[in-house]
Amino acid sequence: MSDRHFDQLATRFAEKIYGGAKGAIRLAVLQADLAEALPDRPLRVLDIGGGLGHMSLWLAERGHEVTFTEPAAPMLEGARQRFADAGQTATFIQAPWQELLGQLTEPYDLVICHAVLEWLAEPHAILPVLHQLTKPGGWLSLAFYNRDALIYRNLLKGHFKKMRKNVMAGEKQSLTPQQPLDPRELATQLEGLWQVESQSGVRVFHDYMPVEFQARAELVDLLEMELAHRRHPSFAGLGRYLHWICRPI
């Protein structure tokens, strides 16, 4: 298995991930968490596998100095255009994560790694690299596809044959990640490198709603309720993604 890049799927990615309520909720939770955690001063930010640049642009608009990296050329160009349309600047680098230590000379105040681990052949291998790229006293914003949520959704759908086979990876050309992460395993892998400071669930109920209820719900209400329940002790772990803000040890 190799790392998955989105050279051929940029348009589908844009429509599927950010074309509706799912993307709006995801951005709202990530941004709320970061706004709460970060100091009120400009930071040097590194976005690894930044996709189409939604999070990086939000950070740039708040005065942070952004270095944006993305291995897939169509995604990188989409991000570059998004920045240009907004009148914002960043340093753009087309490279996979394995090449970043050789290209970047100084660590960053904030490293963003959102929806990357689940597309890697060996997700744990990036963790020491993230640590080296983050300044002492800095922050890592880590968002990943939650295996627990995928299991729960399959249980609700009655996909018991799939559950017995324990096959959770997506098909080759699908947008279902190839390596959904077990949060307990990831927490163990972070030990010695990172202290997890805050944990939120991203879409803790939206994706479980019947389709007709989703269609009737107003986005403003969905955002309000997702934000209100993102750290609820019973619901946070059901988030389709989990967002952990970590400090280097």
Residue 209 sits in a domain whose CATH number is 3.40.50.150
Mean pLDDT of 132-161: 96
> And the tokens for 127?
């963790």
The secondary structure of residue 172, as a DSSP letter, is T
115: left (phi over 0), alpha (psi -120 to 50) or beta: left
Residue 35 is assigned to a structural domain of this protein = yes
Reply yes or no on whether the pLDDT at 1 is more than 80.
no
Per the CB < 8 A criterion, the answer to whether 30 and 143 are in contact is yes
Per the CB < 8 A criterion, the answer to whether 145 and 110 are in contact is no
Reply yes or no on whether the pLDDT at 63 is more than 90.
yes
Q: What does the angle CA 206 – CA 208 – CA 209 come to, to the nearest 5 degrees? A: 70
Residue 109 is assigned to a structural domain of this protein = yes
Quick one: pLDDT band at residue 36, thresholds 50, 70, 90?
A: very high
Quick one: pLDDT band at residue 132, thresholds 50, 70, 90?
A: very high
Q: How many domains does the chain have?
A: 1
Reply yes or no on whether the pLDDT at 240 is more than 60.
yes
Mean pLDDT of 47-60: 96
**What distance in Å separates the CA atoms of residue 153 and residue 147, rounded to the nearest whole number?**
10
* Amino acid 174: pLDDT: 55
Which residues contribute to the annotated binding site?
Answer: 26, 49-50, 70, 114
Quick one: pLDDT band at residue 117, thresholds 50, 70, 90?
A: very high
Count of C-beta atoms within a 10 Å radius of residue 167: 11
Residue 177 is assigned to a structural domain of this protein = no
Residue 86 is assigned to a structural domain of this protein = yes
**What distance in Å separates the CA atoms of residue 35 and residue 156, rounded to the nearest whole number?**
34
Question: Each residue of 155-211: pLDDT tens digit?
Answer: 999 999 989 998 776 555 556 787 899 999 999 999 999 999 999 999 999 999 999
* Amino acid 125: pLDDT: 95
* Amino acid 12: pLDDT: 57
Residue 42 is assigned to a structural domain of this protein = yes
Count of C-beta atoms within a 10 Å radius of residue 154: 16
Q: How far is CA 129 from the centre of its chain?
A: 17
* Amino acid 166: pLDDT: 85
Quick one: pLDDT band at residue 37, thresholds 50, 70, 90?
A: very high
Judged by DSSP in three states, 129 sits in helix
Q: Which residue range forms the structural domain that includes residue 95?
A: 8-146+182-248
Residue 173 is assigned to a structural domain of this protein = no
Encoded amino acid at 40, one letter: D
* Amino acid 9: pLDDT: 55
Q: Are strands 241-248 and 44-48 parallel, antiparallel or unpaired?
A: unpaired
Mean pLDDT of 73-86: 95
Mean pLDDT of 200-229: 97
Mean pLDDT of 219-230: 98
Mean pLDDT of 120-140: 96
* Amino acid 167: pLDDT: 77
Mean pLDDT, the chain, integer: 92
Which residues contribute to the annotated binding site for S-adenosyl-L-methionine?
Answer: 26, 49-50, 70, 114
